[in-house]
Amino acid sequence: MARIDYDGATAASFRAAREIPRSGLGAWEEAVRRHLNPVPGMTVVDVGAGTGAFATAFCDWFGVRVVAVEPSGAMRALIPPRAGIAVRAGHAAALPLPDAGADAAWLSTVTHHVPDLAAAAREIRRVLRPGAPVLVRNAFAGRYERLRIVRWFPETARTLDTYPSVEETCEAFASAGFTRAALESVPQSDLSSLAELLERADTLRTADTLMRGLTEEEFARGKERLREAVLAGRTPRGADLTSSLDLLVLR
C-alpha cells in the first residue's frame, strides 16, 4: 500500500504544491546529467512518474525518451501528452517494459511508497540493460538536516524516520545485483518568500507524506512559527527557502 492514495484531489494538490518549477531545478539537471551521461534517444523509465514533472524535464533537458510508469490514474491523467513520453499504468514491481528495454531508471520521491523495495529492485534489474544506472531522488531516514519542511515543522522527522534509509535502499538493490555508485545532496528551490510557504501549507498538508503525518497541533505550531517569521518581516536566509533531497545512484 502506498502511504497516500493519489486520487483526483490529491493529484491536483500535488501539482499545485509539490511540483518544483523548472527554474528551481538547475542543480538537479546538472547532477542527473553527470550520472546519466544522456544520449538523445536513450530510454529512461520513470518509476512512479506522478504528474510527469521529471518526465517532461528529462525530455527537454536531455532529449531522451521516457516511459512514465505510474499506478494512479489521477496522477497519470495530469502527465502532459507530448512526443517523447509514453505513459503506462504499472508500479515498481510490475514495469510494463521488456527485458533490458531501458537505459536508466529514475525514482523520484517514490521509494517510501513501495511496499517491497527488493521486489522493485529485481524488476528494475530485469528492465535495465547491464550497467545502466538507477537514480533515486528521495529523502531518507535520518538525513533531514537540509530539508526545509523539517526546519519549519520539526515533527515531520518522525515520519521521515519510517522511510527506507540509504543503507536499507542499498541493501534492497544489492539483492538484485546493484551496487552504490554515488550519494549527494542536491538543492532545489521553489519559493521566493516565506509568505509563499505559509500560503502553501494547507495544500502541502494533503499532498506531502511528511506533512500528513503531523498531528493537528504540530501542524498548527509549524504554521504559527512561519506566520511569526513572515510578520516579523525577517529576510529569509537561503537556507530557509531552499531545500535539498538526496540523489542516490546505483549500478
Ligand X SMILES: C[S@@+](CC[C@H](N)C(=O)[O-])C[C@H]1O[C@@H](n2cnc3c(N)ncnc32)[C@H](O)[C@@H]1O
For ligand X (CB under 6 A), the number of binding residues is 19
End-to-end CA distance of the chain: 27
- Alpha-carbon distance of 108 to 213, in angstroms, equals 20
As measured in angstroms, the least distance from the Cβ of 52 to ligand X is: 8
110 binds ligand X (CB under 6 A): yes
Among 56, 72, 138, 159, binds ligand X (CB under 6 A): 72
Is residue 19 classed as helix, strand or coil in its secondary structure? coil
Residue written as grid cell 504559527 = 224
113 binds ligand X (CB under 6 A): yes
6 binds ligand X (CB under 6 A): yes
- Alpha-carbon distance of 176 to 47, in angstroms, equals 17
Among 31, 36, 53, 204, binds ligand X (CB under 6 A): 53
CB atoms under 10 Å from CB of 18, counted, come to 17
Spatial strand order in the sheet of 85-88: 85-88, 65-69, 43-47, 104-108, 134-138, 243-250, 180-188
Among the candidate windows 34-42, 109-117, 186-194, 210-218, which touches ligand X by CB under 6 A? 109-117
Main-chain dihedrals φ then ψ at residue 108, nearest 5 degrees: -110, 115
Alpha helices (H) along 77-215: 117-127, 148-152, 156-160, 166-174, 194-207, 209-212
Q: 50 or 133: whose CB is closer to ligand X?
A: 50
Among 28, 45, 48, 135, binds ligand X (CB under 6 A): 48
Q: 66 or 92: whose CB is closer to ligand X?
A: 92
Among 50, 133, 213, 222, binds ligand X (CB under 6 A): 50
Among 25, 28, 54, 248, binds ligand X (CB under 6 A): 54
Among 45, 49, 79, 102, binds ligand X (CB under 6 A): 49
Q: Which residue is nearest to ligand X (CB)?
A: 50
As measured in angstroms, the least distance from the Cβ of 191 to ligand X is: 17
CB atoms under 10 Å from CB of 233, counted, come to 7
As measured in angstroms, the least distance from the Cβ of 200 to ligand X is: 15
As measured in angstroms, the least distance from the Cβ of 21 to ligand X is: 12
Whether 155 and 103 have beta carbons less than 8 Å apart is answered as: no
- The contact set with ligand X (CB under 6 A) reads 2, 6, 47-50, 53-54, 70-72, 75, 91-92, 108-110, 113-114
